[in-house]
Amino acid sequence: MSDAAARTDQDRAKQAAADAALKEFVRDGMVLGLGSGSTSLRFVRALGAAVAQGLEVTAVPSSTTTRELAFELGVPLATFAEVQHLDLTIDGADEVDPDGNMLKGGGGSLLWERIVAGASDRMVAMVDPSKTVERLGAFPLAIEVVRFGWESTRASLERTLAALGHPEPKLVLRTNTDGSPFTTDSGNHILDAHLGAIDNPLELDARINWVPGAVEHGLFTGVAKAVVLGRPDGSHEVR
């Protein structure tokens, strides 16, 4: 299959997951957390259409990009100054294992995504078939670090990862297309850890946040309560 055909198949599967998440999980009166990334933007478009048809929800976005789209589409928005408790967060993921553990952060919004999911009764992940894996780690683990001393934070993270069984972890500073360092919505940088495989997600999850300067990471263990898998033929499955 050509790259273009695979992309189209993936786009259809993302759309199926977004449409199904809306239909299966969103109800009138809910306060929603909105995820980030292309699948989440598809969900926001579907939500905007439902709001235009009369669905009543309020939403807290997990990135400036999601907020701008939701605002444009007339989705009623709130901030954490107004609501501290959300009913449901719907978000995408980069990888999901059979236990529902996820890698997130491909779009660089992991910190706000974690806060929004953490404020929610329930988090539901939307994925296409390319995201389901037996073992996490082929996708790089995103680690958000404060800009001050990020080189030292990287060295500490390398030592931590080595101690956890990743002998030569490669941590790459994420950059924009012009080569400048990528900056998150919170003004931090991202280090992408190329680990190959993660055998100990729970331990890794706990240990990375102990490193001074590491603000958050994209390993979300025990966060998703359900996973909506969309397929290119428009069908879906809830796991």
Q: Which residues bind ligand 5RP (CB under 6 A)?
A: 35-40, 91-94, 104-110, 113
Chain center to CA of 71: 20
Is the torsion defined by CA of 62, 65, 68, 73 positive or negative?
A: negative
Closest CA to 125 of 192, 37, 203, 194: 37
Shortest distance (Å) from residue 94 CB to ligand 5RP: 5
Query: Does residue 113 carry a catalytic annotation?
Result: yes
91 vs 158 by CB, closer to ligand 5RP: 91
Shortest distance (Å) from residue 137 CB to ligand 5RP: 15
Give how far Cα 41 sits from Cα of 97, 139, 209, 212, Å: 23, 21, 28, 33
The one catalytic residue among 24, 82, 95, 113 = 113
Burial-class residue 231 by CB neighbours within 10 Å (0-12, 13-18, 19+): middle
87 vs 113 by CB, closer to ligand 5RP: 113
Strand, coil or helix: 200 = coil
Shortest distance (Å) from residue 80 CB to ligand 5RP: 18
SS3 content of the chain, % helix, strand, coil (to 5): 35, 25, 40
Q: Per the annotation, where are the binding residues? A: 36-39, 91-94, 104-107, 131
40 vs 221 by CB, closer to ligand 5RP: 40
Shortest distance (Å) from residue 185 CB to ligand 5RP: 10
92 vs 232 by CB, closer to ligand 5RP: 92
Catalytic residues: 113
